[in-house]
Structure 1
Amino acid sequence: MKILAHRGWWKEDSEKNSEIAFRRAFEAGFGVETDVRDQNGVLRIAHDIPVGDGLMAFETFLTLHKAYPQAGTIALNIKADGLQRPVRTLLDEAGIQDLFCFDMAVPDALGYFREGFVTYTRHSEIEPVPPFYDKAHGVWIDCFYSDWIQPEDVHRHLEAGKAVALVSPELHKRDHKAAWKAWADIRSENVFLCTDLPDAAAEFWA
């Protein structure tokens, strides 16, 4: 199980998607899930619509990642359409390849395939049939309303040749313990866990 620190390894809410949270995660060797949007022609790390001048540039985020050779995979949550070319340009300039994109609109996803991105589809209670499954490199499995994800769901995607990223229930304000117990024997190098508790997850799956 590989760990993705959700918006970095933050210790309080104000640290989400911040430099300190990203540095903490990268230094520990974790991957990071984060969000990208555009603001007046500049790509920003932002979950919500960017407002003001205080948001981190995506280019700065990539520089942080590159500064830590032990840093894990970047899971890039695409929050706006039409970002394929600028994202690709900055990735190529930074020399970063350990990244996958997910959560873009379905028509927009086709542009990510054309640009050669590693792209994940999504499987959830809302999307029981993941879109563009045949093209996807992996599956982002989410659990918005209940702990429905079972090991057999993960193994089915792995057997189809897909990597898998599991969303831990605390991202949706539910306790994580039951889900982690159910997933305890999942130890494939092709499975990620996106979590607000990266240190606890690393210890659990040690």
Structure 2
Amino acid sequence: MIVLAHRGWWTRAEERNSLAAFERALAAGFGLELDVRDQDGRLVVSHDPPVGEVPDLAALLELFDRHGRPGPLAINVKSDGLQAGLARMLAPLAPKDFFVFDMSIPDTLGYLRAGLPAFTRQSEHEPVPALLDRAAGVWMDLFESDWIDAAAIRRHRDAGRAVALVSPELHGRPHRDAWRAWRASDGPGVMLCTDFPDEAREFFHGD
């Protein structure tokens, strides 16, 4: 299981999407989930509309390189129209190093036209993912119920698509039952986005 540290590996809520949390995660060998917006003509890392100082995406990418790109960047795009800027900043990376997700359908089309790896989303409210035939992978979310089972994961893997699983604690629910159900589905191209990256590594990869 490839572990994606949700907004970095943070120990306090105020550390989320901070360079300190990203560096801690990268130094431990985790991939990252991060939120990207624009602010005053630059791309920044921020979940909500940015106020004051927030990290530059460029600074995060420098950390990513410095730590040897240990896992993929899952880039949650929070603003429309960022394709050109993101394409320019991500050009040095290999396709395996990142993907973008969570855009609107019109915005997603722009990323696909730009040749950037984009994931579509599947959830209990979106049982048929949009643009699935053109997506590099599937972001499998579970907003209100733990609906994701081994068969759902296997269908995407059999079609040659990567899968990113959203851990239930991101929506305020216990996570261990879902992790146990997903353990048998572990394999190449399967990722877990979690607030507990150290626990996930021990659960899926511990002896």
Same fold at TM > 0.5: yes
**Greater helix share, structure number:** 2
Map 1:50-129 → 2, pairs under 5 A? 50-52=50-52, 54-69=53-68, 71-92=70-91, 95-97=92-94, 98-129=97-128
2:133 alignment partner, SS class: coil
Aligned to 1:9: 9
TM-score by length of 2: 0.96
Aligned to 1:161: 160
Deviations 1:167-204 (A, max 9, x none): 00000010101101111112211100000000110111
2:71 alignment partner, SS class: coil
2:42 is equivalent to residue 45 of structure 1: no
Give structure 1 regions of 4+ aligned residues with deviation exceeding 2 angstroms: none
Q: CA deviation at 1:102?
A: 0.4
Q: How has the CA–CA distance of structure 1 residues 42 and 70 changed in structure 2, closer, same or farther, with 3 Å as cutoff?
A: closer
Question: Aligned Cα RMSD in Å?
Answer: 0.8
Deviations 1:52-87 (A, max 9, x none): 2x1001111111111101521100001011101001
Structure 2 segments unaligned to the other structure (5+ residues)? none
**8 A contact 1:25–1:71 mirrored in 2:** no
2:7 is equivalent to residue 30 of structure 1: no
TM-score by length of 1: 0.96
Give the distance between the partners of 1:10 and 1:71, measured in 2 at CA: 17
Write the letter of the residue equivalent to 2:123: S
Q: CA deviation at 1:96?
A: 2.1
Among the aligned pairs, what percent are the same residue? 51
**8 A contact 1:66–1:96 mirrored in 2:** no
Give the distance between the partners of 2:186 and 2:192, measured in 1 at CA: 11
Structure 1 segments unaligned to the other structure (5+ residues)? none
Deviations 1:132-155 (A, max 9, x none): 001001000000001111011000
**Count of paired positions:** 203
Give the distance between the partners of 1:10 and 1:172, measured in 2 at CA: 17
Q: How has the CA–CA distance of structure 1 residues 61 and 201 changed in structure 2, closer, same or farther, with 3 Å as cutoff?
A: same
Give the distance between the partners of 1:28 and 1:42, measured in 2 at CA: 28
